[in-house]
Amino acid sequence: MGKVRGNLLPPALAILFSALLCGIALVVSGANPLTAFGAMVTQVGEGTTAVDIVNSTGTYYIAALAVAIGFQMNLFNIGVEGQYRVAAVVAAVFGGSVALPPGIHTLAIILVAALAGAAWAAIPAILKVTRGVNEVISTIMMNGLALGLAAYLIRDDVFGELRGNNIRTPEIPTSGWVPGISLGSSGTVFGLVFLAAALGIAYWVMMNRTRFGFELRASGESSTAAAAGGVSAKKMILVAMLLSGAIAGLVSMPEILGRDHTYNLNFPAGIGFSGIAVALLGRNHPGGIAFGALLWAFLDKSGLALDNVGVSREIVTIMQGAIVLSVVVAYEVVRRYELAAEQRRVGRQLGTAEPVGGAA
């Protein structure tokens, strides 16, 4: 019971607190917070907003899982942004240039995307393992390189083609498409949203039931204890980073295989960074991340309604920032409180005043 409280209380408090903060920001800027929040909630029922939220949730969810794998061992893969972009271009080019039977074509594209993401992540991983280069710095720089590389690859004299004002990769034939669930005028749910759910389950199983997950968590909790327990730090960094990159490579698959069938100039940016926030919000737990991704998608899509009531939609960005900040603080406060409470409980149950190691 205490555990559930420890996991659910912090985000609830944080969301409440940040809503309050945004309310104040709205009042200061001369708008009515209740009107604004009301508009956001009613927007969910309008047009395709609900389906957009679900689709967006799937994308954020995959990105956050990629980040969370690194977080489990205190590895900050800031490079999800670049990894999914490189993977998207490579997979789109590959998908548009081969002819394969349906199904196999789709699987091949997904596999190529995962491999491309992993390959892009392998560079900072190898740099860290062999030369001790900080992965935060190297992945951020790889993000810049990824932008440039993607722009180069879709030039019409390389792999791309010019369509009107847009440059894009050749369209993937229908054999590579993933059909969605059409809800008529409400929009179409991407078929690969279920891929996100499957990845979440696989992630949970891996973290909690496999040796690799145990070693990953042990490395994150105490690198010295993991080393004494026979966990090779270098191997873990390499594997975790490659796995993180592979999952990052899948981030754009729902959109590319479900709707766009090509990589073009309108490709969405910033999902990797949102993934970091969502992973923090969900505390690296697959359930928590799902909730975080849903919240993020809701704020993104419903925020569009704010323009209608004369409120600047940038207020959503403030809210997202406030949520992440307060969640991180709230988790830490609750964690310390829970640990102290457990020590008190153990002390009481044993009825001793024995000094706990390290207290003195």
Partner 1 sequence: MSGSTSADLPVAIGDPEGPPAVVLSGITKRFPGVVANSDVHLSVRVGEVHALCGENGAGKSTLMKILYGMQQPDEGTIEVVGERVHFRTPADAIKVGIGMVHQHFMLADNLTVQENVVLGAEALHGIGGKARKRILELAGDTGLSVDPGVLVERLGVADRQRVEILKVLYRGAKVIILDEPTAVLVPQEVDELFATLRGMQERGFTFLFISHKLDEVRAIADSVTVIRRGTTVGTADPKAVSSRQLAEMMVGSELPSPETRESTVTDREVLRVEGLALVAQEGTRPVLDDIDLVVRSGEVVGIAGVEGNGQTELVETIMGMRRASSGHVVLVSADGTRRDLTKLGTLARREAGIGYIPEDRHRQGLLLTQPLWANRILGYQTRKPTARGAWLDIAGAKKDTQRIVDEFDVRTPGIDVAAAALSGGNQQKLVVGRELSGEPVLLIASHPTRGVDVGAQALIWDEIKRARAAGLAVLLVSADLDELIGLSDTIKVMLRGRLVADADPNTVTPEDLGSAMTGAGSTSDAVAGIGTGPDTADDGTDTTEGER
The residues binding partner 1 (CB under 8 A) are 208-215, 217-218, 221-222, 224-232, 339-350, 352-360
* Shortest distance (Å) from residue 342 CB to partner 1: 5
* Contact indicator for 278, 58 with CB cutoff of 8 Å: no
* Shortest distance (Å) from residue 341 CB to partner 1: 7
Instruction: Kindly provide the b/e burial profile for residues 51-86, where b requires at least 16 CB atoms within 10 angstroms of the residue's own CB.
Output: bbbbbbbbbbbbbbbbbbbbbbbebebbbbbbbbbb
Nearest Cα neighbor of 54 from 176, 177, 181, 178 is 181
Nearer to partner 1, 17 or 212 (CB): 212
Nearer to partner 1, 184 or 230 (CB): 230
Signed CA dihedral, 250, 251, 254, 255: sign only? negative
* Shortest distance (Å) from residue 288 CB to partner 1: 17
- Alpha-carbon distance of 159 to 140, in angstroms, equals 26
* Shortest distance (Å) from residue 335 CB to partner 1: 8
Nearer to partner 1, 216 or 277 (CB): 216
Nearer to partner 1, 182 or 343 (CB): 343
Nearer to partner 1, 164 or 357 (CB): 357
Tokens of 341: 């409470």
* Shortest distance (Å) from residue 224 CB to partner 1: 5
- Alpha-carbon distance of 181 to 188, in angstroms, equals 5
- Alpha-carbon distance of 88 to 101, in angstroms, equals 21
Nearer to partner 1, 155 or 335 (CB): 335
* Shortest distance (Å) from residue 197 CB to partner 1: 22
Nearer to partner 1, 155 or 344 (CB): 344
- Alpha-carbon distance of 64 to 244, in angstroms, equals 10
- Alpha-carbon distance of 233 to 72, in angstroms, equals 13
Polymer length of the chain? 360
Nearer to partner 1, 4 or 359 (CB): 359
* Shortest distance (Å) from residue 339 CB to partner 1: 6
* Shortest distance (Å) from residue 229 CB to partner 1: 4
- Alpha-carbon distance of 215 to 207, in angstroms, equals 9
Nearer to partner 1, 28 or 350 (CB): 350
Task: For strands 181-182 and 188-189, give the pairing.
Answer: antiparallel
- Alpha-carbon distance of 7 to 44, in angstroms, equals 27
Task: For strands 166-168 and 181-182, give the pairing.
Answer: unpaired
* Shortest distance (Å) from residue 7 CB to partner 1: 14
* Contact indicator for 175, 101 with CB cutoff of 8 Å: yes
